[in-house]
């Protein structure tokens, strides 16, 4: 039988998301269309690829085999088109929307590579992005490669990009808001709001390590997506929360740097060596140059702190 690459792409997307609604959104098709196409393919193959009910979607053994080889098929099909047409597929980059300076970095890449097309995705963290990197749906992502619950897959490579200071956001009426800078010892005297999500396990791990290292008190833990959700939680509950600072805040909130020591977030570029297009090597070189030019790799002159895995990586990479 002849395979329809469109249906192969549908199966791979559903395998990544294990949710018809999210997979359909990613493919920009109706959920009913996705379901119908999967059923049609399964009927032609004579075997089920997924087990699903109202609450659960899972791959069957046949589905796992199909997805594994289907990913390779899609990658080879893309390369075939590029070679025959002498065109280049867009470089697909995931840009975190949580305040890391990867957005100005992306604008710089655009000015330096007029001949290179880009596609940009916005995620809430590396945890959610990794399956797409492994699937070949993304070429490059940014984030902290520690605290993910398991080691990075062997196919994934990383390159340190920057050390970002972490501060706090807090209500303007909070006692710590009177300080220009907040020592971590002073923060330990107040209860903290911890705002995380399942999609950002690396951020949750960073926060948990900071709480343990400095004896901080946690008033409550809130699950939510994005900076806006964290701001709403801080306003509603009145407790300070860790955050990348520098972005605009709504009325009633303020941000303060943390000191003694300055807590840092070590973020990296991450890519799949098995599916990396030729343009990625050039892009990584530009990223390295830009980060060094802007001194993103330098820790502050004052005392600073990193979780132990991040510190070990920093020492190993110089």
For residue range 168-209, list pLDDT tens digits in order.
Answer: 999 999 999 999 999 999 999 999 999 887 778 899 999 999
Q: What confidence tier does 67 reach under pLDDT thresholds 50, 70, 90? A: very high
Preceding peptide of 228 cis, ω within 30°? no
- Identical topology for domains 5-85 and 165-263: no
Q: Please write the tens of the pLDDT for every residue from 218-276.
A: 999 998 777 788 889 999 999 999 998 877 788 999 999 999 999 999 999 999 888 88
Q: Can you give the pLDDT at residue 95?
A: 78
Cα–Cα distance for residue pair 38/4, rounded to 1 Å: 11
Q: Can you give the pLDDT at residue 240?
A: 96
**pLDDT above 90 coverage of the chain, percent:** 53
The domain spans of the chain are 5-85, 91-162+264-317, 165-263
Question: Which residue spans within 6-101 are E strands per DSSP?
Answer: 50-52, 57-59, 91-96
CA 82 → CA 7, 76, 77, 86, 277, distances in Å? 21, 10, 9, 5, 11
Cα–Cα distance for residue pair 110/100, rounded to 1 Å: 18
Cα–Cα distance for residue pair 97/103, rounded to 1 Å: 8
**The listed CATH number (2.40.30.10, 3.40.250.10, 1.10.10.10, 1.10.10.60) that belongs to domain 5-85:** 1.10.10.10
Class of domain 91-162+264-317: alpha beta
Q: What confidence tier does 88 reach under pLDDT thresholds 50, 70, 90? A: low
Residue with tokens 């300070």: 240
To the question of pTM greater than 0.75 for the whole model, the response is no
Cα–Cα distance for residue pair 229/291, rounded to 1 Å: 29
**pLDDT above 70 coverage of the chain, percent:** 95
- Residue 257, C-beta contacts closer than 8 angstroms, at least 6 positions apart: 165, 167, 181, 182, 245
Please check whether residue 223 is in contact with residue 231, taking contact to mean a CB–CB distance below 8 angstroms.
Answer: no
The length of the chain in residues reads 318
Q: Can you give the pLDDT at residue 62?
A: 95
Structure tokens at 67: 């997805």
The yes-or-no verdict on residue 87 having pLDDT over 70 is: no
Helices then strands, counting H and E runs in the chain, come out as 11, 13
Please check whether residue 227 is in contact with residue 243, taking contact to mean a CB–CB distance below 8 angstroms.
Answer: yes
Q: What confidence tier does 211 reach under pLDDT thresholds 50, 70, 90? A: very high
Q: Can you give the pLDDT at residue 39?
A: 94
**The listed CATH number (3.30.1340.30, 3.40.50.300, 3.40.190.10, 3.30.9.90) that belongs to domain 165-263:** 3.40.190.10
Q: Can you give the pLDDT at residue 171?
A: 96
């Amino acid at each position: 039988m002849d395979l329809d690459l469109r249906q192969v792409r549908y199966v791979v997307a559903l395998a990544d998301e294990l949710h018809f609604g999210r997979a359909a959104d990613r493919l920009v098709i109706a959920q009913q269309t996705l379901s119908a196409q999967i059923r049609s393919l399964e009927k032609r193959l004579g075997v089920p690829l997924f087990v699903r009910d109202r609450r659960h979607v899972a791959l069957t053994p046949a589905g796992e085999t199909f997805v594994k080889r289907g990913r390779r098929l899609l990658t080879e099909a893309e390369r075939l088109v590029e070679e025959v047409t002498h065109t280049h597929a867009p470089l697909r980059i995931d840009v975190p929307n949580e305040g890391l300076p990867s957005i100005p970095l992306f604008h710089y890449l655009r000015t330096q590579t007029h001949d290179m097309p880009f596609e940009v995705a916005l995620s809430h963290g590396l945890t959610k992005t990794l399956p797409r990197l492994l699937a070949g749906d993304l070429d490059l992502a940014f984030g902290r490669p520690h605290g993910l619950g398991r080691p990075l897959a062997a196919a994934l490579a990383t390159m340190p990009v920057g050390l970002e200071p972490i501060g706090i956001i807090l209500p303007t009426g909070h006692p710590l808001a009177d300080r220009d800078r907040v020592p971590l010892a002073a923060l330990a005297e107040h209860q903290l709001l911890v705002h995380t999500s399942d999609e950002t396990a690396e951020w949750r791990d960073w926060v948990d390590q900071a709480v343990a290292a400095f004896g901080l008190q946690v008033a409550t833990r809130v699950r939510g997506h994005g900076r806006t959700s964290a701001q709403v939680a801080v306003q509603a509950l009145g407790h300070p929360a860790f955050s990348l600072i520098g972005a605009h805040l709504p009325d009633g909130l303020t941000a303060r740097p943390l000191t003694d020591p300055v807590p840092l977030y070590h973020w990296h570029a991450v890519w799949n060596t098995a599916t990396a297009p030729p343009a990625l090597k050039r892009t990584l070189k530009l990223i390295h140059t830009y980060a060094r030019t802007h001194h993103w790799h330098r820790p502050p002159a004052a005392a600073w702190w990193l979780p132990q895995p991040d510190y070990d990586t920093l020492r190993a990479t110089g």
